[in-house]
Amino acid sequence: MRFISVFSASVLFLLAACAPLDEDEGSDLPSSGDAQGAAIEGDDGDTAASAQRLDGSELAPKGPVGEWISPSCGTRKYARTIRFDARGTFLGQDLVSPCPPDVVCIWSGIVSTRGTYTVEEDTIFLSMLNHGAGPAAPFPTELGIDAETSAPVETDHEGNACVYEPYVETGPRPRPRG
């Protein structure tokens, strides 16, 4: 019987903690710079460009949010994908030597990098939380934004612009490590 009482109290506590806030209760939220809120949805279901975090700082603009691919860039002769989310985090994957389908490989051939990003005008600033290990080219710390497509733009060591394209998955994706 005591177990049921403790269980019931725990369930009630969790329900109260997860309940949506009333508009007048929002002022009790901490104003931490790391607080993240859900993006504001527009009528068409897309994330609005003016979405904000709970602390009032802006989320990333609509442009870079999504998944992008660059087949190669300068001395980097393999594909690189970058997935930007609306909360300001990203996952990059260098497809250095992916394991072919139906083959067992010792190393997956994919180097993953995670981090956060901010956008200022026409530049995406990347801050790495972890750098993937392997023979991949260094991950850029800045990407431009293509004015016509809003796609990320990587600049190689010679100053040539490599515009990313929207990534469309064509097969199963390996689970990134890290």
pLDDT in tens, 31-73: 333 333 333 333 334 433 444 455 555 554 556 899 999 999 9
Class of the CATH domain delimited by 66-166: mainly beta
Per-residue confidence band for 172, with pLDDT thresholds at 50, 70 and 90: low
Tally DSSP H helices, then E strands, for the chain. 1, 9
Does an H or E element contain 165, and which?
strand 165-166
The answer on pLDDT for 139 being more than 70 is: yes
- Mean pLDDT lowest among 26-30, 63-67, 69-73, 104-108: 26-30
Element (H, E) at 11: helix 2-18
Token pair listed for 130: 């972890």
Task: Please report, as a single letter, which amino acid is at residue 176.
Answer: P
Distance of CA 133 to the CA centre of its chain: 19
The type of residue at 15 is: L
CA distances from 125 to 4, 65, 122, 141 (A): 52, 14, 10, 6
pLDDT of residue 178: 56
Q: How does the average pLDDT of the chain come out, rounded?
A: 71
* Ramachandran quadrant class, 137 (left: phi over 0; alpha: psi -120 to 50; beta: rest): beta
Where does the pLDDT of residue 174 fall: very low under 50, low under 70, confident under 90, or very high at 90 and above?
low
Whether pLDDT at 156 is above 70? yes
pLDDT band at 10 (very low <50, low <70, confident <90, very high): very low
